[in-house]
Amino acid sequence: MPLYLGLDSSTQSLSAIVLDIGDGKRRVVFEDSLSFDETFPDYGTRHGVLPGDDPLVAVSSPLMWAAALDEMMSRVSRAGLDLGRLAAVSGSAQQHGSVYLNAGAARALASLDPGRPLVDQVRPMLSRPVSPIWMDSSTGAECRQIASAVGGDTVLAQHTGSRAFERFTGPQIRKFAQREPDAYAATSRIHLVSSFLASLLAGSDAPVDPGDGSGMNLMDLETGTWWGPAMDATAPGLRDKLPKIAPASAIVGPLAAYWTKRYGFPAARVVVWSGDNPCSLIGTGLVREGRLAVSLGTSDTVFGLMREPRVDPTGTGHVFGSPTGEFMGLTCFKNGSLARERIRDKWHLSWDEFSGILRSTPPGNGGRVLLPWFEPEITPAVTEPGVRRCGLAEDDRDGNVRGVIEAQMTSMALHSRWMGVDVDTIHATGGAAANREILQVMADVFDADVYQFEVGNSASLGAALRAAQADAAVRGPAATWDEVVRELAEPVTTSRIAPVPERVAVYREFARTYAACEAEALGRVSVR
Ligand code: XUL
């Protein structure tokens, strides 16, 4: 009976999950997670981001991600699992981030030495020591230049699934090519975080999947190929620097000798990696249209499967590829868990105390609103960070606790309307989805039943399930996606949190107040 490993390299941590699937059994046999800041203090990251002076810039260390992969694979190898049964490995990674490799990287990848730590062998491969990540919002000018070169944001969105976004890889590449032309010229391959880590596992140049490729403003969504006008608008000679695009179920190759010799892994299949949101789509069992998932992590995201790519006319959301070969709609909010923590920490609260305040205060906060834009916000687009309050005192502890959660949920509900899903059920995931008081506000604001999951990390679960799906397809016959997610990625029936009708009515009114406050803060007359 095969084992499947799913890894998730997120903003702040690397997680792993191992599934044992076969003979009617489907269970999790291993789960672990390591925090980048705590495990690798020498890199100096804070919440997984390297410190810097410009609040619009967010970069991290690809070497740290490689070191984390090495450490996690070592832990998996020592976990007492019957490693010989490991059939396939896949992964999930924070989306949009890019890793820049030089001309020597291909050879170095093919000859990784099991006798030396991975990180020492990755260092000479890099043509850029840092990786811009999804929290970066410093490429406003590059976004405007790319959009205008292809005929405007609407044209760009029609082809790539999104208008130009600061964190997307294309604008980031353009900034690098313009500011550091020599380093750009010395770059032979630009990987996403996902394809970089898959390359390290396979010891060869891994492709990008359509799910993560659609987070670049470079891929034609319908054909799943790089879109010429976007490449031309982004940077010179880009076509040769981009990896191939392959389906999420493609096999990159067997695990490199580095892993088999150093840690005793078998030559398991390395399946193409994808982004954390496409992987979470699988890990929350959303393989059919009509339901939404809300992920409460470093970023908060709302997403759901789409059979046809319906692009957001308001320019807020994205259409990405789905690992099922279809599409997914997604809206991303940058001020997620870090904003919740900022409010909690300001009053030195435990999460229990935070929940207690949500339980004991009235829904709707008396019409007072907090806009938690501690960092520049993606949705709605806010480049000048700063918390804004409408009618709420800065020192009102309970009002601010309620305020941050109500604003996040209301913003998610308003800005995901473009997906056109008449939502009656939400699959909740991510760290804060363990908190039932937060989920109660979600249920009341969305007027929908909210469910929790047995496995909290839906991204690594989704990656492991994708590994199982791809491996089964090679062995044939391929399983349906309903079969792939069965039992493991189904919501816990008894976890249902139902909306309370009186509160739903309060939040209907509150949504109008929130929208007016948001519009005023954005200097608009009304919210689009
Ligand atoms: C999605 C996005 C974030 C990152 C964080 O577009 O930017 O959700 O993937 O992990």
Which atom of ligand 1 approaches the CA of 301 most closely? 8
**Separation of CA 134 and ligand 1 centre (Å):** 6
Place of tokens 């039932």: 436
Measured in Å, residue 83 CA sits from the centre of ligand 1 at: 32
Residue 447 tokens, joined: 């007027």
Ligand 1 neighbourhood includes 26 CB (under 6 angstroms): no
pLDDT at residue 494, rounded to an integer? 97
* Total residues found in the chain within this entry: 528
Contacts 24+ apart (CB under 8 A), 27-30: 27/488, 28/455, 28/461, 28/488, 29/3, 29/81, 30/76, 30/79, 30/81
Mutation test residue for ligand 1: of 162, 322, 332, 377, the one with most atoms within 8 Å of CB:
332
**What pLDDT, on the 0 to 100 scale, is given for residue 313?**
86
The pLDDT score that the predictor gives to residue 184 is 98
Q: How far is the CA of 276 from the centre of ligand 1 (A)?
A: 7
Centre of ligand 1 from the C-alpha of residue 394, in Å: 29
CA dist 447 and 499 (Å) reads: 5
For the Cβ of 134 lying below 6 angstroms from any atom of ligand 1, the answer is yes
- CA 173, CA 184: separation in Å to the nearest integer? 9
Q: For ligand 1, is residue 301 a contact (CB within 6 Å)? A: yes
pLDDT score for 527: 36
Q: What is the structure's pLDDT at 524? A: 67
C-alpha distance from residue 5 to each of 243, 388, 514 (Å): 24, 43, 43
Global pTM value: 0.96
Is residue 294 lining ligand 1, measured as CB closer than 6 Å?
Answer: no
CB distance 299 to ligand 1 below 6 Å:
yes
Q: Which atom of ligand 1 is nearest to the CA of 11?
A: 10
Identify the pLDDT of residue 526: 39
Which residue pairs, CB below 8 angstroms and at least 24 apart, start in 514-521?
514/369, 514/406, 514/407, 514/410, 514/411, 514/414, 515/414, 516/390, 517/369, 517/371, 517/388, 517/390, 518/369, 518/371, 518/380, 518/411, 520/390, 521/371, 521/382, 521/388, 521/390
Task: Give average pLDDT by consecutive 10-residue segment, the chain, 528 residues.
Answer: 97 98 90 98 98 96 98 98 98 98 98 98 98 97 98 97 98 98 98 99 98 98 97 98 98 98 98 98 95 96 94 92 97 97 98 98 97 96 93 97 98 95 94 97 98 95 98 92 95 97 98 97 62
Instruction: Name the DSSP letter for residue 497.
Output: B
